[in-house]
């Protein structure tokens, strides 16, 4: 808390006491602790005194812990302690949404020299404002296996499950609706080497679908980003897909069986660790903007439309290529057969 001395009482023209007349400890304890993160940031710009009071790291630590319980984990706390402004920097990186690039022609070589040696995942799942699940996972990123293998982070073990308050009943629509409206997820990736973080989740699900064979419910969260690849036909986009897999018996509670994250390109192919790191680091270094309700879902649906067009055009190109190959083969065969026939006739004329 602040140790500033009591300020001189001042009044405005209406006879009301100005904020500078209130003791700093009262402002910090009774006012600032009641504010959320965005409001606290706005308050800090009101005056130099409030800016100083709003910079208290303990204040921001409580805010971060209330938004993301996983941020209280010692591994995450150790990483946050190296951020330029501690918990305030962490909040500024993690709370807003990624500023999406309209131009997908990103220079990827710029980031290859800054690949980190590890990533920390801080994940929190809430249902109806109650914490359902929280976990911190460290992923080593320097090995050759990671660089060349498909990038995927799994949170739950083989036999580990999480119980939800949702009943798995016969009304499929109600079950999906409850998950879509009430299950919120935050997946913050932290780069402890560069002291940056980014929230890769869409907060709310972009889709909830039942698997046609197993009957499991797939709750998907998605963030669409530029990949730096060829942007033709939308091919320069990738999505960071986070899938929460739920299962249960009829009439019983729904259980979370799997929580995983991976990077997918327009073909649905999972990117390798090396390519994923380049994209993730660009997202960390990029700008942030205010989250808008439903924006991530719109981008995901647009991504699916572009993926469909991309695949259709790719199939047409492949068909044209197949036709060229077939025609080339026929032409070669006819030419070869003609040479044989002409050669036979020449041989017959010689012997006659």
Per-residue pLDDT of 242-292, as tens digits, reads: 999 998 887 788 899 999 999 998 888 999 998 999 899 888 988 888 888
What is the predicted pLDDT for the residue at 251?
76
> Residues 193-249: pLDDT tens digits?
999 999 999 989 999 998 888 888 999 999 998 876 544 445 578 999 999 999 888
Decide if 321 is inside a domain: no
Q: Please give the Cα distance from 88 to 85 (Å, whole number).
A: 6
Q: What is the pLDDT of residue 119?
A: 95
Q: Is 2's pLDDT higher than 80?
A: no
122 with 50, same domain: the answer is no
Spatial CA neighbour of 220 closest among 180, 181, 253, 256: 180
- The reply to whether 44 and 178 lie within a common domain is no
Summarised one tens digit per residue, pLDDT across range 148-197 is 999 999 999 888 899 888 887 766 778 888 899 999 999 999 999 999 99
User: Per the domain annotation, does 113 fall within a domain?
Assistant: no
| Higher pLDDT pick, 351 / 338 | 338
Residue 27 lies in a domain: yes
Query: Has residue 312 got a pLDDT over 70?
Result: yes
Query: Can you give the pLDDT at residue 218?
Result: 94
Together in a domain, 135 and 269: yes
Same domain membership, residue 166 and residue 32: no
- Counting DSSP H helices and E strands in the chain, the numbers are 11, 12
Is 262 inside a domain boundary?
yes
Q: What would the mean pLDDT of 296-308 be, rounded to a whole number? A: 89
The sign of the CA dihedral 10, 12, 15, 16 is negative
The model's pLDDT over 101-139, given as tens digits with 9 standing for 90+, comes to 554 444 444 445 556 889 999 999 999 889 999 999 999
Helix (H) or strand (E) holding 195: none
| Per-residue CA distances from 305 to 206, 207, 226, 235, 331 (Å) | 14, 15, 16, 12, 39
CA separation, residue 283 to residues 96, 103, 213, 328 (Å): 12, 14, 36, 46
Q: Are residues 34 and 144 in the same domain?
A: no
Q: Are residues 125 and 253 in the same domain?
A: yes
Q: Give me the DSSP letters along 270-309.
A: BPBHHHHHHHHHHHHHS-EE---TTHHHHHHHHHHHHHHH
pLDDT given at position 15: 54
Looking at the 3D structure of the chain, how many domains does it have? 2
Range of the domain at 28: 21-55
In a domain, 129, yes or no: yes
Residue 212 lies in a domain: yes
Please say whether the beta carbons of 120 and 76 come within 8 A: yes
pLDDT for position 62: 93
pTM score > 0.75 for this model?
A: yes
| Mean pLDDT comparison of 9-13, 218-222, 333-337, highest-scoring range | 218-222
Give domain status of residue 253, yes or no: yes
State the Cα angle at 351 between 346 and 352, rounded to 5°. Answer: 95
- The reply to whether 150 falls in a domain is yes
- 65 versus 97: which is more confidently predicted? 65
- For 93-99, what is the mean pLDDT? 88
Q: What DSSP assignment string belongs to 31-91? A: IGGGS-HHHHHHHHTS-HHHHHHTT-HHHHHHHHHHH-GGGGSHHHHHHHTTSTTTHHHHH
Predicted pLDDT of residue 231: 44
Residue 236 and residue 124 share a domain: yes
Domain boundary among 250, 285, 320: 285
> 133 and 258 share a domain?
yes
pLDDT digits (tens, 9 = 90+) for 32-82: 888 888 888 888 887 888 888 888 999 999 999 999 999 999 999 999 999
Structure tokens at 139: 């992923």
Domain check: are 214 and 140 in the same one? yes
Structure tokens at 180: 């879509």
Q: What pLDDT score does 104 carry?
A: 43
Query: Which residues, listed in sequence order, are joined to residue 210 by a DSSP beta bridge?
Result: 217
Higher pLDDT, 13 or 309: 309
């Amino acid at each position: 808390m602040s140790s500033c001395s009591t300020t001189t009482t001042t009044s405005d023209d209406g006879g009301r006491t100005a904020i500078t007349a209130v003791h700093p400890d009262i402002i910090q304890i009774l006012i600032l602790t009641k504010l959320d993160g965005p409001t606290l940031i706005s308050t800090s710009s009101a005056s130099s005194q409030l800016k100083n009071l709003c910079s208290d790291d303990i204040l921001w630590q409580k805010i971060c812990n209330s938004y993301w319980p996983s941020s209280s984990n010692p591994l995450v706390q150790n990483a946050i302690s190296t951020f330029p402004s501690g918990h305030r920097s962490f909040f500024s990186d993690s709370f807003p949404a990624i500023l999406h690039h309209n131009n997908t022609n990103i220079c990827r070589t710029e980031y290859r020299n800054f690949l980190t040696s590890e990533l920390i995942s801080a994940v929190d799942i809430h249902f109806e404002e109650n914490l359902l699940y929280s976990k911190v996972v460290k992923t080593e990123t320097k090995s050759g296996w990671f660089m060349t293998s498909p990038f995927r982070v799994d949170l739950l073990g083989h036999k580990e499950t999480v119980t939800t308050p949702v009943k798995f009943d016969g009304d499929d629509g109600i079950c999906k609706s409850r998950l879509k409206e009430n299950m919120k997820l935050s997946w913050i990736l932290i780069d402890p080497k560069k002291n940056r973080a980014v929230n890769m989740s869409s907060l709310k699900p972009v889709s909830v679908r039942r698997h046609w064979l197993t009957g499991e419910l797939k709750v998907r969260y998605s963030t669409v980003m530029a990949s730096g690849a060829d942007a033709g036909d939308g091919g320069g986009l990738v999505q960071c897909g986070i899938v929460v897999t739920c299962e249960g018996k009829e009439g019983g509670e729904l259980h979370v069986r799997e929580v995983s994250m991976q990077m997918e390109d327009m073909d649905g192919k999972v990117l390798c660790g090396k390519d994923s790191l380049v994209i993730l680091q660009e997202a960390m270094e990029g700008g942030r903007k205010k989250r808008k309700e439903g924006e991530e879902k719109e981008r995901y649906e647009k991504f699916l439309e572009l993926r469909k067009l991309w695949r259709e055009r790719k199939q047409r190109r492949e068909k044209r290529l197949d036709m060229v190959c077939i025609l080339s083969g026929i032409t070669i065969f006819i030419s070869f057969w003609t040479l044989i026939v002409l050669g036979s006739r020449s041989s017959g004329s010689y012997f006659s």
